[in-house]
Amino acid sequence: MPSRLSDAFREVPVHLRNKDHLDFESIREVPDSHTWQDVDDYPSVDTAAVGGVPVVDLNDPNAMKLVRHACETWGVFQIVNHGIPMTLLQELEAQGRRLFSLPAEHKLKAARLPDGISGYGLARISSFFPKLMWSEGFTIVGSPVEHARQLWPDDYTQFCDVIEEYVKEMKGLAGKLMWLVLGGLGITKPDLKWAGPKGDFKEASAGLQLNSYPACPDPNRTMGLAAHTDSTLLTILYQNNTSGLQVLKDGSTGWITVPPLPEALVVNVGDLLHILSNGKYPSVFHRAVVHQTRHRLSAAYLYGPPPNTQVGPLEKLVDLNNPPLYKSVTWNEYLETKAKHFNKALGTLRITSTT
Ligand SMILES: C=C1C[C@]23C[C@@]1(O)CC[C@H]2[C@@]12CCC[C@@](C)(C(=O)O1)[C@H]2[C@@H]3C(=O)O
Ligand SMILES: O=C(O)CCC(=O)C(=O)O
Ligand SMILES: [Fe+2]
């Protein structure tokens, strides 16, 4: 019988006593609650046939062109020479391991509240699926201190220091990436007021999602994180050396693995960039599958516009021949739409042509 957390809930507030939190460490077989029928909804694609997800060297003088091409055709690419120190990536991974290896009942002390954003919990998209996913997550929006204190009352600063440094570095990188991505569309600093007077996206909003995918006795019958697009402008993903991230390329027939490359980061186009680009850049469908013997960790830096900023198709990209395809929306409004309609959220903002 798979072991569940029943005894551990004694210390946990009533609203957090969720029997769906599996103790992945001790489980030896996939329970029915986590058994998926349709993992192979599309076949896996041999990357040799499609060329694989593009890798862009940010020091390449042609980086902008390469990024544009990657955004138009894939909605995802990997970057190298991004300037994020390897030591910081390793420290982030170490803190992720430290967090997820805590006993299950201990992690639940920092559980995300039912109407909260930050904290430990199941994938929030779980409610859209009949079966649960083989993963745990920890979401950080704003300061990590409160939740870190719940996890490590006497030693929460090392976690917070690493997160703070990582988020600072990611913010700088995301700003640079935004100009590469927008530059490819012919957009310059005066075209985007909300990038701020210096064009440094100082007021941008962001979150960090740490994901843990424990080794799974039957990886072909369960799902790490089900297929979705991110609601962001951009997502910058660090994955450890275990593969699992897969993407659907527009027009391709199946799941394509994004191989972990040492020192590379993955960049996804999110739904808000799809809207901003008036549909020129697709937001990429992606999912995470799990491994039989290896524990996979990832960290998604979720980057969006400043609070209350309306994001709609950029004026420069709209004319009589190119009417706006989407209504404008703030990130918060879009997150609410996403929480209701999930993968149909973009469609609800689509402007239908009357001609
Ligand atoms: C800012 C956010 C984007 C996100 C919802 C959230 O409030 C925090 C977690 C993010 C995440 C990470 C995993 C996939 C995803 C779809 C989810 O369920 O939670 C994204 C959300 C998103 O991009 O819509
Ligand atoms: O773990 C991964 O590779 C994907 C994570 C992801 O898609 C997310 O956090 O939004
Ligand atoms: Fe994602």
- Where do we find the tokens 């990188």? 173
Q: Which two tokens stand for residue 76?
A: 């995802």
Which ligand places an atom closest to the C-alpha of 338?
1
Distance CA 225, CA 235 (A): 15
Rounded to the nearest 5 degrees, what angle is found at the Cα of 279, between the Cα atoms of 276 and 281? Answer: 85
Atom of ligand 2 nearest to the CA of 213: 1
H/E stretch holding 266 = strand 265-269
C-alpha span between 177 and 205 (Å, rounded): 15
Residue nearest to atom 6 of ligand 2 (CA): 300
Look at residues 355, 309, 303, 302 and name the one whose alpha carbon lies nearest to residue 332: 309
Which of helix, strand or coil describes residue 16?
A: helix
Residues pairing with 299 in the sheet: 210, 238
Query: Is the CB of residue 207 below 6 angstroms from any atom belonging to ligand 1?
Result: yes
- CA angle 57/60/66 to nearest 5° reads 75
User: What string of pLDDT tens digits covers the 355 residues of the chain?
Assistant: 222 323 333 333 333 345 556 778 778 899 999 999 888 777 777 776 677 999 999 999 999 999 999 999 999 999 999 999 999 999 999 999 999 999 999 999 999 998 899 999 999 999 999 999 999 999 999 999 999 999 999 999 999 999 999 999 999 999 999 999 999 999 999 999 999 999 999 999 999 999 999 999 999 999 999 999 999 999 999 999 999 999 999 767 789 999 999 999 999 999 999 999 999 999 999 999 999 999 999 999 999 999 999 999 999 999 999 999 999 999 999 999 999 999 999 999 999 876 5
User: pLDDT tens-digit profile of 101-153?
Assistant: 999 999 999 999 988 999 999 999 999 999 999 999 999 999 999 999 999 99
d(CA 168, CA 85): 12
Closest CA to 208 of 125, 159, 128, 144: 144
Indicate which residues carry an active-site annotation: 296
pLDDT for position 48: 66
Q: Which residues lie with the beta carbon below 6 Å from any ligand 2 atom? A: 209, 211, 225, 230, 237, 239, 244-245, 286, 288, 298, 300
**272, 304, 334, 351 from 348: Cα distances, Å:** 13, 19, 10, 8
Question: If you take atom 9 of ligand 2, which residue's CA is the nearest one?
Answer: 300
All residues at 6 or more sequence positions from 224 whose CB lies less than 8 Å from its CB, including other chains: 133, 134, 135, 211, 213, 244, 287, 288, 289, 290, 296
Nearest-angstrom CA–CA distance, 32 and 124? 20
| CA–CA gap between residue 221 and residue 354 (Å, rounded) | 45
Sequence letter at residue 200:
D
Residue 24: the pLDDT is 83
Cα–Cα distances in Å, from 89 out to 76, 158, 201, 324? 20, 14, 23, 39
Predicted ipTM?
0.97
The pLDDT value given to residue 19: 53
Q: Which pLDDT does position 39 carry in this prediction?
A: 82
Span from the CA of 255 to the centroid of ligand 2 (angstroms): 15
pLDDT of residue 44: 76
pLDDT at 1: 27
